[in-house]
Amino acid sequence: MDLQDFWFLLIAVLWVGYFVLEGFDFGVGMLLPVLGRDDTERRVLINTIGPVWDGNEVWLLVAGGATFAAFPEWYATLFSGFYLPLFLILLALIVRGVAFEYRGKRDEPQWRQRWDVAIVVGSFLPALLWGVAFANIVRGVPIDQNFEYTGGFFNLLNPYALLGGVVTLTLFALHGAIFLALKTTGDIRHRAHLLAQQIGVVAVLVAAGFLVWTQVQHGDGWTALTGVLAALALVGALLANMRRREGRAFALTAGTLALAVATLFLALYPDVMPSSTNAAFSLTVDNASSTPYTLKVMSWVAVIMTPVVLAYQAWSYWVFRKRIGVEHIPPSAGVPQQRPGQDADTRIG
């Protein structure tokens, strides 16, 4: 394996980490008004992801930085052609982060309701648009001989890409519902379990359609294998959830997302951004990469630092591993508000 292939693989792994970890964050955010019947229950939901949501977003920063450094031509074409959807994703993530921090600053119901809406919208938009973006990358977009995107915004809103957006939306919602069943107690846990079953039926249907479409148009033997494994993992997650094996169900939805991302990157390789104008204009791991020296230096940094980052994140999940419920949430009136996660998880960690 040469360095270009190594960094293509590593970027795929970074996106797997982001979709698996940030996926349940988005799911919890989208389900906030569905499973949280009052302010106390909504605080429980927010506290399940409070200690980890900002760490999960680091995977996106690293994936973007790695793409910029390892494949600058890919980064330039992607961020110029997908400027509007990526800007909307960035704006949604900013609003969502601010909402987490400011929601508990005042005890007024209207104040919290407004920030709750920001959390829902800030979770819904990225969950939808990431699927649209990745589906377009695999499908191919108009790129000229100078590796410049020549299409418009509405070129990105094609049926295949929109179906991809629905797939990520439903899979993240399912992932989040199962995570809440794993992390909460009492009535919230029961409702999350039931909701996961309902979302799972929709997720199976749309994911199956998208995987078949991807295989017919862009697949090979490897994508067929990972696609079948992703489908089996998704069905297994629903069966485990039916038996109230939340830990196993969560691991299987994580596996579903990981295999789905792997399928997309396998369908893409050796291109990093296919051109629908002319195959000769496509960006590949060879013509879009940095110099060998740059990739060599980056590889040493990745080999040294990646285990450290993984160990720290694993430790943080271990510290905040216990379930929480309404009984762990202190009264809000007269109590100084902490950042999400501190008022509940620090009590039970």
What are the residue ranges spanned by the domains of the chain? 3-348
Give the tokens for residue 288. Answer: 């879009």
Q: Greater confidence, 131 or 340?
A: 131
CA gap 281, 294 in Å, rounded: 24
At 172 the pLDDT is 97
Q: What is the pLDDT of residue 86?
A: 92
Question: For 334, left (φ over 0), alpha (ψ -120 to 50), or beta?
Answer: left
Cα separation values, 47 from 40, 177, 288, 346, Å: 11, 14, 42, 10
Query: Among candidates 179, 150, 166, which has minimal Cα distance to 56?
Result: 179
Place of tokens 């295999």: 259
Which alpha helices (H) appear in the chain, and where do they start and end?
Answer: 3-30, 32-35, 39-49, 53-70, 72-81, 83-102, 109-139, 159-183, 186-218, 221-242, 246-268, 292-319, 345-348
Q: What is the pLDDT of residue 54?
A: 87
CA dist 262 and 258 (Å) reads: 6
Confidence band, pLDDT 50/70/90 cuts, at residue 98: very high
Phi, psi of 273, deg, nearest 5: -160, 95
Average pLDDT, the chain: 90
Show the CA angle centred on residue 115, arms to residues 110 and 118, nearest 5°. Answer: 135
Q: Which residue has the higher pLDDT, 344 or 98?
A: 98
pLDDT digit string, tens, across residues 150-162? 888 888 889 999 9
Position 332 scores a pLDDT of: 66
Over residues 208-260, the pLDDT tens digits come to 999 999 999 888 899 999 999 999 999 999 999 999 999 999 999 999 999 99
